[in-house]
Structure 1
Amino acid sequence: MDRRTFLQGLGALPLAAALPGLISGPALAQAAWPTRSATMIVPFPPGGQADLAARPMANALTTILGQTVVVENKGGAGGAIGNSMAAKAAPDGYTMLMTLSSLAVLPEAARLAGRQPSYEMSQLQPIARVLADPTVLAVPASAPWKNVAELVADAKANPGKIQYGSSGLYGTTHVSMAMFTTAAKIDLLHVPYQGGGPSLTALVSGEVQAIASAPGPLKPFLDKVRVLACFGAQRAPAFPNAPTFQELGYKDVEFYIWAGLFLPVGVPQPVQDKLGAAAKAAIESPDVVRILENAGSPPAYMDAAQFSAFVAADSARLVTAVKAIGKVE
């Protein structure tokens, strides 16, 4: 089954009728919200990690909250367009954002390029973390490189000739690949796309020769890609034969793609609490767990307080990495 068919099939996801009971009680009585449908912005095209997290979650939230939660893909500028739309939305709880770790990178990247950021982290409130996967380095199954050493040797012999795709300038997969190329002292040609899905399509079709990706989106294409290494501190369970970059001697090459749910700052606390409780029930529901695990990206839930602390720490690390990389075209 291809990934698009898989994602379309999520629309038929059933949830146990008893799920709303998981979030009953005083927290729900504090707010009438929602009384109409809500939008979950995904700042990338269909097919990437944020989209993978958003669709089963939106479907589950629809059942739990009793109002439709519609996923809207607003790709472009490495995620900045959709992130900005969510950050500037009315703080009424009817616009949510399912985004990636590049959320913290993009404002700093804009400043490096001499531009005014289209949004700031301070405009968004973390509600729940859904996924947290280490990035992996993938090449086409037909590529001549069987390991990272062979890729590096070829890149050094042919600087600027090997193309790699990304989710956009300073997107999650650009920053992780820039970490690798900087550490390996190689020059690869960067080809930015409007999201992880299009960059994966480009890899499978042969437009580019390498990408960084979360494990989940690669799963439908196991016969068409080869994973050479994992950016995490431990090997990815979905690709146990792929060594970590740290195992290969690249001690500073470590990167994770997390996906999380946010609201614009200013949403009333009772609404935040109700959505947070609904998100917890959704993430823990057997159907959502099954879908995410089958996609190779098991849930990695954090509540609002835990996720806020995690985002602050991870953002500081990522901003430091972007500043070290510098302006990258």
Structure 2
Amino acid sequence: MYRAAAIVAFAFFMLTAPAIAQPDVYPSHPVTLVSPYPPGGGVDILLRALVGPWQRALKQPIVVSYRTGAAAALGTASVANATPDGYTVMIGAASTVTIPEVDRLLERPTSYALDQLVGVALLSSEPTLLIVHPSLPVKTARDFIELARAHPGELVVSSGGYYGPSHLPILLLERAAGVRFKHLVGTGGGPAMTAVLSGNSVAYAAQPNVATPHILAGRARVLAHWGTKRLPAFPDLPSFKELGIDVEFYDWFAVFAPAKTPAAVIKVLQDSLRQAAHDAEFVAEMQRVNQSIEYRDGDEFQAWYQREKKWRVDAVRAIGKIDVNPKQ
């Protein structure tokens, strides 16, 4: 009797032990992709193109969660404080690395620390474009700068958040060109684009994927870019450096996960992202919206990310605390 019971118990253990001993293979259920930015901006355009190819490569659904507010700080903080298991990740942009420094600069509670996030992969990086409302009486970037010099603090320029990827290039341009604008700072790239299209602002430092459809439709005019060489989509468009204004700025999009996410999980994310970035559907959509693909992961991405963090933090510190709309 005891022998029979022992055999039954052993058989039960052998049947259940594998289930107990072996953890789920990642990913075993849907992954949440957080966007800290509102719909309609550059991050959103890329995100929508990426989700389909990425979930096919990952072999699990990807659920997009918009967690906007505080110029992307709220959504980013939610990921920084999430369980580091690979099931909550985010699309970040240049502002991801500047928010903690801006918090310190403005002496407000820190939303998150950069060491709470780990970079997974870079998807795209390219210079921002200076676009203006068609009614503005300028045809070139030189005209725009001269108009700004003649009307200091009067030309309204929209942006998506303080010291963010559409605000920071304008601040740098002010210092490099010796001009001053009136800043209309909103909650993201979509609202900032809407402001210039509606005429509530006259200019905006736009991401190419946001600006291109409006440029082609004649709803906005592009005058210059913040890069160093001519852009394939706009071969006749000069950079500010070509015009003798020493300013340079790039916006970028990358995937981040909570720090301490296991290396094996990061590798799965990278392998699937690499596959998605080369997916024909994703490539075609990026070409359609004039968005470059610059995929990097591993050591190459980490080296780039460390340089980028230092440059952004140094730029914010150099600008310092600003009065966005000084009295005339």
Q: Under a length normalisation based on structure 1, what TM-score does the superposition of the two structures give?
A: 0.88
SS of the equivalent of 2:230 reads: coil
Partner of 2:133: 140
Residues 1:196 and 2:196 are matched in the alignment: no
Counterpart-to-counterpart distance in 2, 1:102 and 1:304: 21
Partner of 2:243: 248
Paired residues of 2:102 and 2:163 also in contact (CA < 8 A): yes
Residues 1:209 and 2:209 are matched in the alignment: no
Paired residues of 1:53 and 1:131 also in contact (CA < 8 A): no
Residues 1:259 and 2:259 are matched in the alignment: no
Residues 1:176 and 2:169 are matched in the alignment: yes
Partner of 1:19: none
SS of the equivalent of 2:180 reads: coil
Counterpart-to-counterpart distance in 1, 2:23 and 2:51: 22
Letter of the structure 1 residue corresponding to residue 152 of structure 2: P
Q: How does 1:1-329 map to 2 (within 5 A)?
A: 32-222=25-215, 223-251=218-246, 253-328=247-322, 329=324
Counterpart-to-counterpart distance in 2, 1:98 and 1:277: 16
Partner of 1:12: none
Query: Which is further off, 67-76 or 117-126?
Result: 67-76
What is the CA-CA distance between 1:177 and the residue it aligns to? 0.8
Paired residues of 1:53 and 1:130 also in contact (CA < 8 A): no
Query: Per-residue displacement from partner, 1:78-132 (whole Å, max 9, x unpaired)?
Result: 2212111111111111111101011111111111101232111111111111111
Query: Which is further off, 58-67 or 281-290?
Result: 58-67
What is the CA-CA distance between 1:31 and the residue it aligns to? 6.4
Question: Displaced runs of 4+ in structure 1, greater than 6 A?
Answer: none
SS of the equivalent of 1:263 reads: strand
Letter of the structure 2 residue corresponding to residue 76 of structure 1: G
SS of the equivalent of 1:39 reads: strand
Counterpart-to-counterpart distance in 2, 1:54 and 1:184: 34
Query: Which is further off, 51-60 or 308-317?
Result: 51-60
Paired residues of 1:227 and 1:239 also in contact (CA < 8 A): no
What 5-or-longer segments of structure 1 have no aligned partner? 1-28
Aligned length: 300
Letter of the structure 1 residue corresponding to residue 92 of structure 2: T
Counterpart-to-counterpart distance in 2, 1:31 and 1:257: 37
Counterpart-to-counterpart distance in 2, 1:43 and 1:240: 33
SS of the equivalent of 1:320 reads: helix
What is the CA-CA distance between 1:305 and the residue it aligns to? 2.3
Q: Percent identity?
A: 35
Query: Which is further off, 153-162 or 269-278?
Result: 153-162
Query: Per-residue displacement from partner, 1:222-255 (whole Å, max 9, x unpaired)?
Result: 211111111011122222222101001112x101
Letter of the structure 2 residue corresponding to residue 273 of structure 1: K
CA RMSD of aligned residues (A): 1.5
Paired residues of 2:57 and 2:273 also in contact (CA < 8 A): no
Counterpart-to-counterpart distance in 1, 2:108 and 2:175: 24
SS of the equivalent of 2:90 reads: strand
Letter of the structure 1 residue corresponding to residue 116 of structure 2: Q
Counterpart-to-counterpart distance in 1, 2:63 and 2:231: 31
Letter of the structure 2 residue corresponding to residue 173 of structure 1: S
Counterpart-to-counterpart distance in 2, 1:279 and 1:250: 37
Letter of the structure 2 residue corresponding to residue 37 of structure 1: P
Letter of the structure 2 residue corresponding to residue 327 of structure 1: K
SS of the equivalent of 2:296 reads: coil
SS of the equivalent of 1:173 reads: coil
Query: Per-residue displacement from partner, 1:179-204 (whole Å, max 9, x unpaired)?
Result: 00111111101111111111011111
Residues 180 and 190 of structure 1, relative CA distance in 2, 3 Å threshold: same
Letter of the structure 2 residue corresponding to residue 242 of structure 1: L
